[in-house]
Structure 1
Amino acid sequence: MEDKKLAIVTGGSRGIGRACCERLAKDGFDIVFTYQSNEEAAKETVKLCEKEGVKAEGIKRDVANSDECQKLVDEVVENYGKIDVLVNNAGITRDNLIFKMSDEDFADVVDVNLKGPFYMMRAASRKMNKGGSIINISSYAGVNGNIGQVNYSATKAGIIGMTKSLAKEVARKQITVNAIAPGTIETDMLNQVGEKQLDEFKKAIPMRRIGTPEDIAGAVSFLASDDSNYITGQVLCVNGGLAI
């Protein structure tokens, strides 16, 4: 019987990250995911993945720290022998209009959202199996911009640039690198928005509904599968038609 493949998902304890872990577990991947602080949520993700008959492990890591990212990859290779898929999902927001945005708010978002994926891709691409997949979670804001998110939009646009560049670098190893740009998705971030604002969001989406983490996880599943092994350097917009 063929050995299970191994996927690393950053920020996998909840939201889009958890949905990606669950979906990849259903696809037969063993799962290693990172989380920042919520140990109980991480344990729940592990349980959900293990129900699918795979191994699952949550590891507390700061993806903004280069050494911690390298250590994570080294540990995964030592314990599992390989890396088949990397999903860079971990991200934060520090929203404000630019004239109110502090240096710290800009730097914090860059550290997690842009440096984190760079550190993980640098470490993982050295160890990844031939035919592996790197999937970066960008955003609608990285494609079209968003008021009050100069920092966030810059990092998500930067992820797209890194995706296209790395795709060219590792194509000879038959490793694919793609990005997914979600639109408005039901996550903890969205729970802070009032009902009136949610209605406005829905009106702006041609499909007239907010996306779910599972919508994004489905796209991740496709890009992690053999069905997409001739697709690389692309940005898949999953937004219900928002960017049309």
Structure 2
Amino acid sequence: MKKFILITGASGAIGQAVAFKLAEKGYSLYLHYNQNREGIEKLIHNLEAFEGEYIPIMADLSLPNGYKQLASQIFSLDGIIHNAGQALYGLLQDLTEDDLAKLLHVSVTTPLLLTKALLPKLIMKREGAIIVISSIWGQTGASFEVAYSTVKGAQISFTKALSKELAPSGIRVNAVAPGAVETPMLSGFSPDELSAVKEEIPLSRLATPRDIANGVGFLLSDDSSYITGHVLAINGGWYM
């Protein structure tokens, strides 16, 4: 029987890497995107060799009812990967209320409400897994990223609390906390700035999206069947 996993933000670099990893493992996928239809179509074309079902779902999760638009298109479900999000870089005193509201909605409110809407499908099966893509900054905080660190910390609290609530139903909830990853999110940094970051990382390199996907694959698999409420740090030893 096919197992279906929802990946939000599947058109991004990490989302696509996670999709490849899970397709390799034989999962069928709901691939959420907002604007990058071309990226999703290319991704599905590249996944065809794995012979699963790959279903694109368009929804704007920054809208109040965006999560309902997404949830209404989900049928059989075995797991959720909360990957949709955005960066927000700058001084706290320059933060606008609109930017904060959008960040909170996409990164905190939507994952919570989307999970609530989809939980009956997992509870009915009395098994499943939920994985949240958080950040190293949710664990330790970062200057110039106070708002971003705040929502990523909230995601970690969500993970820990929900894991306790859903354990009796056989559903595991974990998070992945990447460090610096080679994605377009780092495009605003100069080569010298990125070189300085690499020097701070004990393994002396940035993560690849595949590194993050490998962690997701592990937490979704039976190899982690006794792990819940955990935050898997994938940061090259940058933060312990």
What range is the shorter-chain TM-score in? over 0.9
What does the per-residue CA deviation read over 1:120-157, in whole Å, with 9 as the maximum and x for residues that have no partner?
21112221132200000000010010111111111100
- Kindly provide the amino acid, as one letter, of the partner of residue 51 in structure 1: A
Query: Corresponding residue for 1:216?
Result: 212
Equivalent-residue separation in structure 1 for 2:190 and 2:27 (angstroms): 37
TM-score (norm 1): 0.94
Tell me how far 1:66 sits from its aligned partner: 5.2
- Residue aligning to 1:152: 148
Aligned to 1:99: 93
Task: Give the structure 2 partner of residue 115 of structure 1.
Answer: 109
Contact 2:59 2:69 in 1 (8 A): no
- Runs of 4 or more, structure 1, over 3 Å off, are 64-68
CA distance in structure 2 between the aligned counterparts of 1:57 and 1:47, rounded to whole angstroms: 11
Q: Which amino acid counterpart does residue 31 of structure 2 have in structure 1?
A: F
Q: TM-score, normalised by structure 2?
A: 0.95
Q: Number of paired residues?
A: 238
Question: 1-side partners of 2:190 and 2:42: how far apart?
Answer: 28
CA contact (8 A) 2:57 2:73 kept: no
1:33 partner SS: strand
Question: What aligned pairs does 1:59-98 form with structure 2 within 5 A after superposition?
Answer: 59-65=57-63, 67-77=65-75, 82-98=76-92
Distance 1:126 1:169 in 2: 14
**Cα distance in 1 between the residues matched to 2:97 and 2:66:** 24
Which one is further off, 102-111 or 202-211? Answer: 102-111
Instruction: Please show how residues 1-244 of structure 1 align to structure 2 within 5 Å.
Output: 3-65=1-63, 67-77=65-75, 82-128=76-122, 129-244=125-240
How far is the alpha carbon of 1:193 from its aligned partner? 1.2
SS in 2 for 1:218: helix
Gaps of at least 5 residues in structure 2 are: none
For residues 120 and 66 of structure 1, the distance between their equivalents in structure 2, rounded to whole angstroms, comes to 11
Code of the residue aligned with 1:184 in structure 2: it is: A
**Secondary structure of the structure 2 residue equivalent to 1:148:** coil
| 1:112 alignment partner, SS class | helix
CA RMSD of aligned residues (A): 1.2
CA distance in 2, matches of 1:116, 1:51: 32
C-alpha separation between the residues in 2 aligned to 1:92 and 1:178?
A: 20
Q: Secondary structure of the residue that 2:60 maps to in structure 1?
A: coil
